[in-house]
Structure 1
């Protein structure tokens, strides 16, 4: 049985980021994943500017190294298409030049991006990376920590501290940390890869479509290298249940019939099958640590409730988990009280964003308001730039919570 101070479960963006930051501090860790890399992960595949910033925090050269990968497509922003068909374009940075500037974001299939991070992991002697190692049982031990066992009940690892980064379906999250999957804070999604999609943005803006007959859900179209596109839908699980929505049929219907999409998808073909996944949303605060463990990324329910972005938040949680793991190793204190500092650090960084995204999510209950804002912005470049700045700046985004903002927007001169 392997003995270790720190065991990281899951080698996706959260786990790999934590392991790499620990390695930068000279702290060894054991990193486990049930898969063998490269492996696919159902996702929207968009890498925002926050992802680029987190890569830079791991190592300054990583963003450039990512940009050199043929599998990474530079992206410069987001198109929000309102229920009335108005387009609100939000660049990731203001005043950019695609031919000269470093891209603010990328789009890369998770099979490629996660493998990009794992390749960095493989280069670090501080990280003991074990693939094809599935953990089925977590048992606390009297002296503190956990014994992790395999499918046949065989003990595999004993660790003082677990960094749990094994995704939305984490058995540890459900059975040990006792985080419930609440339909009001959980999104059901589908994703498929298509080829021959027409009318993609020249600067690779990603698209979020909010169709009136699919609210409170949305449909996305994200360009990918080699002329492919990541296409999917997402909707709160509570809405899927109450409205009895068949997500697959609705997705196929919108692509085939909606006026803004049917011509673009007339000759499109599915590259693989339509696959489903779940998104635990960060629309409420949860306890994401306890005695001898921290929950990272999707395992800690940190996905943005409006855009569905999860990769950057996962990497942010991985960075802070490494910081607090290092403190616990130094003091040999792995108590819940000490690790509570991790919760505070993560929510200090993310909660304002998550709370405001929750507010924007609720705005979908009033599609006329969303449509009015997008309509005004589509005709007023100054207003469009103001909203763009608000969406990119958390402090400015607070204005979205103020009724006076909407009153002035709709009824002011």
Structure 2
């Protein structure tokens, strides 16, 4: 049985980032995961510019180090294909120059990205990494903190502070922190790998297709190294239940018969199976800490409601969790009231963005408006540049909430 001041449960991007930031502060931690790395994680595999920024915050040389990975494909933007078939291309940086600009984003299988972070962890003497250790239950200790129990109910670890970063299905989040799964704030997704998909973008733009007969869901194609592609679908759980949608059937139907996909997949080969996963969306503010614990990433329901991106927000929460650990150890205060500093820091950074993404998600209820925006932007370079900048400028993105933005589009 191990005793520690700081235990991090889950060694994905949120947990690994927290461990690395703690190491930078000279704070030791115990990082525990039930898997042995490298391990697969069902995900869209897209890594935004926010991920690159968080890598840089861990260490200035990490983005460059990651760019040298053979399994990391640089990506320069997103194609949004509207319900009417209009294509809105949004580069991560307007007028980018591939020869001289560093990529703002990447596409890399989580198998490789998560292992890249774990390799950084393994170089830090401040972090003790335990792989292949499954935690089955939790008990509060009389003196404060938690005991982490194995399947035989024996105490494996005792800790003053527990950073919970073990994903969307976290038993701690559900049973201890009491974060309930709400269909209106939860997305069901499927992911598959294909090779031989035709028509992938030369600059590795990721594709988000919003087909009329699949709204309010979306279909994606993300190019990967070696001519492979991550292909998948996502839809709010409430819509899946209401419409009685079989996501797997719908995904295969679109690939086999939709005019925009049929030709592109005619020679494509499915690699392995089609896997499902759940995404707890950050479209609602929740309490993400309590006495002696913090919830990070998917375990804290911090996934972007519009794009489904979770990696960057997990890393951001990991960074702020490390800062809160520092404050707690300094003050020797692990109470719910003191831990609120973590909630405040995370939501100060993310809430405005999450709230705007929720508004963009609701635009899917007005497909004709989506078509109009895409059509206008494809012909108007000023509007296209504005929308591109919106992805990096939250104040500009606020305009998407204003009726005047759409009135000008409709009547100009």
The TM tier, using the shorter chain, reads over 0.9
**Could you tell me how far apart the structure 2 residues matched to 1:391 and 1:211 are?**
22
Which position in structure 1 is the counterpart of 2:338?
338
Shift of 1:392: 2.4
Per-residue CA deviations over 1:148-172 (Å, capped at 9, x if unaligned) read: 1001111100000000000000000
Which position in structure 1 is the counterpart of 2:143?
143
Counterparts in 2 of 1:33-52, with a 5 A limit? 33-52=33-52
Which position in structure 1 is the counterpart of 2:353?
353
Shift of 1:196: 0.5
Once superposed, which parts of structure 1, at least 4 consecutive aligned residues long, lie more than 4 Å away? none
Counterparts in 2 of 1:382-393, with a 5 A limit? 382-393=382-393
**Could you tell me how far apart the structure 1 residues matched to 2:382 and 2:81 are?**
18
Aligned residues: 412
**Could you tell me how far apart the structure 1 residues matched to 2:392 and 2:374 are?**
16
Q: TM-score, normalised by structure 1?
A: 0.99
Which position in structure 2 is the counterpart of 1:272?
272
Are 1:97 and 2:89 counterparts?
no
Q: Is the 8 A contact 2:372 2:409 kept in 1?
A: no
Query: SS in structure 2 opposite 1:213?
Result: helix
Counterparts in 2 of 1:69-84, with a 5 A limit? 69-84=69-84
**Could you tell me how far apart the structure 2 residues matched to 1:385 and 1:211 are?**
24
Are 1:324 and 2:324 counterparts?
yes
Are 1:251 and 2:251 counterparts?
yes
Which position in structure 2 is the counterpart of 1:117?
117
**Could you tell me how far apart the structure 1 residues matched to 2:391 and 2:3 are?**
46
Which position in structure 1 is the counterpart of 2:183?
183
**Could you tell me how far apart the structure 2 residues matched to 1:93 and 1:287 are?**
35
**Could you tell me how far apart the structure 2 residues matched to 1:21 and 1:198 are?**
41
Shift of 1:387: 1.4
Which position in structure 1 is the counterpart of 2:12?
12
Root-mean-square deviation (CA, aligned residues, Å) is 0.6
Per-residue CA deviations over 1:33-87 (Å, capped at 9, x if unaligned) read: 0000000000000000000000000001100010000000000000000000111
**Could you tell me how far apart the structure 2 residues matched to 1:85 and 1:312 are?**
29
Which structure 1 residue ranges, 5 or more long, are not aligned? none
**Could you tell me how far apart the structure 2 residues matched to 1:366 and 1:181 are?**
26
Q: Is the 8 A contact 2:92 2:391 kept in 1?
A: no
Q: Which moved more, 1:320-329 or 1:376-385?
A: 376-385
Per-residue CA deviations over 1:272-295 (Å, capped at 9, x if unaligned) read: 100000000000000000000000
Per-residue CA deviations over 1:240-278 (Å, capped at 9, x if unaligned) read: 000000000100011111111111100001111000000
**Could you tell me how far apart the structure 2 residues matched to 1:310 and 1:90 are?**
20
Per-residue CA deviations over 1:90-116 (Å, capped at 9, x if unaligned) read: 111122111221111100000000000
Which position in structure 2 is the counterpart of 1:174?
174
Query: SS in structure 2 opposite 1:364?
Result: helix
Q: Is the 8 A contact 2:139 2:148 kept in 1?
A: yes
**Could you tell me how far apart the structure 2 residues matched to 1:67 and 1:269 are?**
28
Shift of 1:391: 2.7
Which position in structure 2 is the counterpart of 1:241?
241
Q: Which moved more, 1:91-100 or 1:345-354?
A: 91-100
**Could you tell me how far apart the structure 1 residues matched to 2:375 and 2:187 are?**
27
**Could you tell me how far apart the structure 2 residues matched to 1:391 and 1:368 are?**
22
**Could you tell me how far apart the structure 2 residues matched to 1:331 and 1:387 are?**
45
Per-residue CA deviations over 1:373-397 (Å, capped at 9, x if unaligned) read: 1111112122111111123211110
Which position in structure 1 is the counterpart of 2:301?
301
Q: TM-score, normalised by structure 2?
A: 0.99
